[in-house]
Amino acid sequence: MKSAYLQRVYDQVVARDPGEKEFHQAVYEVLESLDVIVEKHPEYEKAGLMERFVEPERMILFRVPWVDDAGNVQVNRGYRIQFNSAIGPYKGGLRLHPSVNLSILKFLGFEQILKNSLTGLPIGGGKGGSDFDPHGKSDAEVMRFCQSFITELYRHIGQFTDVPAGDIGTGAREIGYMFGQYKRIVDAHEAGILTGKGLSYGGSLARTEATGYGLCYLTEEMLKCMRNTSFAGKTVVISGSGNVAIFATEKATQLGAKVVTMSDSNGYIYDPNGIQLDVVKDIKLGHRGRIKEYAERVPGSTYTEGCSGVWTVKCDIALPCATQNEINEESAKAIVAGGAMAVAEGANMPSTPEAIKVYLDAGILYAPAKAANAGGVATSALEMSQNSMRYSWSFEEVDAKLHDIMVNIFHNIYDASKECGVEGNLMVGANVAGFLKVANAMMAHGIV
Catalytic residues: 127
* Residue whose CB is less far from ligand NDP, 26 or 168: 168
In angstroms, the CA 205 to CA 4 distance is 47
Residues 6 or more apart whose CB falls under 8 angstroms from that of 77 comprise: 61, 62, 63, 64, 130, 131
Task: Give the chain's largest Cα–Cα span.
Answer: 65
Regarding 323 and contact with ligand NDP (CB under 6 A), the answer is yes
* Residue whose CB is less far from ligand NDP, 54 or 310: 310
Which window, 41-49, 177-185, 240-248, 402-410, contacts ligand NDP (CB under 6 A)? 240-248
Please identify which residue in 125, 240, 429, 434 interacts with ligand NDP, judged by CB under 6 A.
240
Please identify which residue in 195, 351, 373, 386 interacts with ligand NDP, judged by CB under 6 A.
373
Regarding 168 and contact with ligand NDP (CB under 6 A), the answer is yes
Q: State the binding string over 84-123 for ligand NDP (x if CB under 6 A, else -).
A: ----------------------------------------
Nearest distance from C-beta of residue 347 to ligand NDP, angstroms: 3
Radius of gyration of the chain (CA): 21
Identity of the residue numbered 436:
L
Regarding 392 and contact with ligand NDP (CB under 6 A), the answer is no
* Residue whose CB is less far from ligand NDP, 202 or 240: 240
In angstroms, the CA 158 to CA 150 distance is 12
* Residue whose CB is less far from ligand NDP, 33 or 208: 208
Which window, 53-61, 77-85, 259-267, 415-423, contacts ligand NDP (CB under 6 A)? 259-267
Identity of the residue numbered 227:
R
The total number of residues written for the chain in this structure: 448
Do residues 112 and 77 touch, judged by C-beta distance below 8 A?
Answer: no
Which window, 14-22, 39-47, 327-335, 341-349, contacts ligand NDP (CB under 6 A)? 341-349
The CB-based long-range contact list for 295-301 (8 Å cut-off, 24+ gap) reads 295/269, 298/271, 300/271, 300/272, 300/273, 301/269, 301/270, 301/271, 301/272, 301/273
In angstroms, the CA 179 to CA 194 distance is 7
* Residue whose CB is less far from ligand NDP, 50 or 238: 238
Q: Which residues bind ligand NDP (CB under 6 A)?
A: 166-169, 211, 240-245, 264-266, 307, 321-323, 346-348, 373, 376
